[in-house]
Amino acid sequence: MLIRVITHDDVLSIRALEQRSETAAHWAQHEYDALFVPDAPPRIALVAASESDVAQLYGFVIVRCAPGDWEIENVVVAQEHQRLGIGTKLIRELLHRAQCDATSVLLEVRESNLAARRLYEKLGFSEQGRRSNYYRDPTEDALLLRISTAIL
Ligand SMILES: CC(C)(COP(=O)(O)OP(=O)(O)OC[C@H]1O[C@@H](n2cnc3c(N)ncnc32)[C@H](O)[C@@H]1OP(=O)(O)O)[C@@H](O)C(=O)NCCC(=O)NCCS
């Protein structure tokens, strides 16, 4: 398995992964297309791919690179490849890249999403706050997590 930067050819596969995942953030096609528009808000998207078939994707992470703080907008690993360390590898690579350009990395997560919360906590993120009733369908609070790149 290797981690590489997304290409436009990956979009169909990552959309399919995202749509199969109930707890992922769900984006429209134009939002994925915007990843490749030069003057769109800066983002980094990484995919976890098979080494023997680079078009076969196991997961992805997308981060919005605002000055100072980067925000993880989505991270998804295909269900059949979960608990193999792929989510950890994707986020570690992202944190490695953030070290040079950001002071912290932030994200919001559903309070009930224990798999994602454990992943982030293991990587050193800590809770900074809560947004009440932030999510819809079902309505639920978001926890705001943060890691300072100074501790990496
Ligand atoms: C969250 C997600 C990306 C984790 O990916 P993953 O590749 O399975 O994660 P890893 O294998 O690197 O797991 C790292 C640690 O996270 C925790 N974890 C991961 N999945 C878990 C689960 N189902 N239950 C409890 N803990 C879990 C464990 O502590 C795990 O370490 P361990 O396997 O040594 O116990 C994956 O479950 C997923 O795609 N979920 C659906 C989409 C989603 O909710 N994204 C988050 C949006 S904020």
pLDDT per residue as tens digits for the range 70-97: 999 999 999 999 999 999 999 999 999 9
Q: Is 58 a catalytic residue?
A: no
User: What is the H or E stretch that residue 33 is in?
Assistant: helix 29-33
Q: How far is the CA of 9 from the centre of ligand 1 (A)?
A: 26
Residue of 32, 58, 120, 135 marked catalytic: 120
Q: Return the residue whose CA atom lies nearest to atom 7 of ligand 1.
A: 87
Predicted model pTM = 0.97
Interval between CA 123 and ligand 1 midpoint (Å): 11
32 is catalytic: no
Per-residue pLDDT for the chain (152 aa), expressed as one digit of tens each?
Answer: 999 999 999 999 999 999 999 999 999 999 999 999 999 999 999 999 999 998 899 999 999 999 999 999 999 999 999 999 999 999 999 999 999 999 999 999 999 999 999 999 999 999 999 999 999 999 999 999 999 999 98
Q: How far is CA 105 from CA 6, 26, 70, in A?
A: 20, 21, 5
pLDDT in the model for residue 54: 85
